[in-house]
Amino acid sequence: MGNYIDGFVIPIPKNKLKTYQAIAKKAGKIWMKYGALEYFECVGDDLKVKDLTPFPQLAKVKGGETVLFSWILYKSKAHRDKVNAKVMKDPAIQKMMKEPMPFDCKRMAYGGFKTLVKY
């Protein structure tokens, strides 16, 4: 059985990256505390590609925005479910969920992924 990954693509205003980074640092510590194997929050850098669909196009990025590509690694889907259940009960996450996010949550793409190939 391979690992399991929760993946995210988020369009975000560039002027809100510092705010997002602060939130992500707190969230990452919480996910790791409850057993996530790895936690990544990455901001677009080399996004001008030819003959493929670039992430900004996929995420329908608007002027003044960039795109985040993020993922959390777990042992399995069952492990992900256990970790996320604990995370969602954490008081710090509960507090964060009540605060406005520095991006439009309705434009965030999310999915759970089974590992197909791993080295």
Cβ-in-10-Å burial (0-12, 13-18, 19+) of 59 comes to: buried
pLDDT-derived band at 2 (thresholds 50, 70, 90) equals confident
Residue ranges of domains in the chain, CATH in brackets: 12-112 (3.30.70.100)
pTM listed for this prediction? 0.94
3-state secondary structure of 73: strand
What pLDDT, in 10s, does the model give residues 18-65? 999 999 999 999 999 999 999 999 999 999 999 999 999 999 999 999
State the Cα torsion 35-32-8-18 to the nearest 10°.
170
What pLDDT, in 10s, does the model give residues 72-104? 999 999 999 999 999 999 999 999 999 999 999
pLDDT-derived band at 1 (thresholds 50, 70, 90) equals low
